[in-house]
Amino acid sequence: MPGDHKPKTANGKIVRSTKQRQAILDILTKQQSHLSAEEIYQAVKITQPRISLGTVYRNLEILTELGSIYRNSFADGKARYESATIGHHHHLVCINCQDIENLTACPMAQDIGNLAQSHDFEPLEHYFEVYGYCGKCRRKD
């Protein structure tokens, strides 16, 4: 059926729209912050009290695959998610208060192009995170 563009996952399954999935996406879109699966679970429970953590993980996986959200693994080994409406960006992570600030500029777009040439490598994604102290925490110490 030409013109039919139902979203599908990598394994070819059609993706349905459920209130659980919509609630998760809503939270990530509204909060505009970097939430862990557990934090998302706690937030979704307000509107969907019977949702399970397993469902949260399954939906985060699907939404990541669809490109609706980004998954980031930071140095603490825990994955955090954010809405993809913000577009490509990087992170300043405070090692004291754990706050994450987004860096809207991507200074290495050009560098990556050069890498492709000099290292025989086809770049698809890249991650750049800076760890340190945010202004607030620096002044507190």
Partner DNA sequence: ATCGCTGCAAATCATTTGCAGCAGC
Partner DNA sequence: GCTGCTGCAAATGATTTGCAGCGAT
* 53-66 and 37-44 helices, crossing angle to 10°: 110
Q: How far is CA 52 from the centre of its chain?
A: 20
Site string for DNA, 55-94 (x = CB under 7 A): x-xxx-xx--------------xxx---------------
Residue 54 near DNA by CB under 7 A: yes
Q: Under the criterion CB under 8 A, does residue 108 sit at the interface with its own copies?
A: yes
Tally of CB atoms within 10 A around 94: 17
CA atoms within 13 A on the CB side of 51: 25
# residues contacting its own copies (CB under 8 A): 33
Which range, of 45-53, 82-90, 119-127, 131-139, touches DNA by CB under 7 A? 45-53
Rounded least distance, CB 73 to DNA, Å:
7
Check the annotation: does 91 bind a ligand. no
Residue 16 CA to chain centroid, in angstroms? Answer: 21
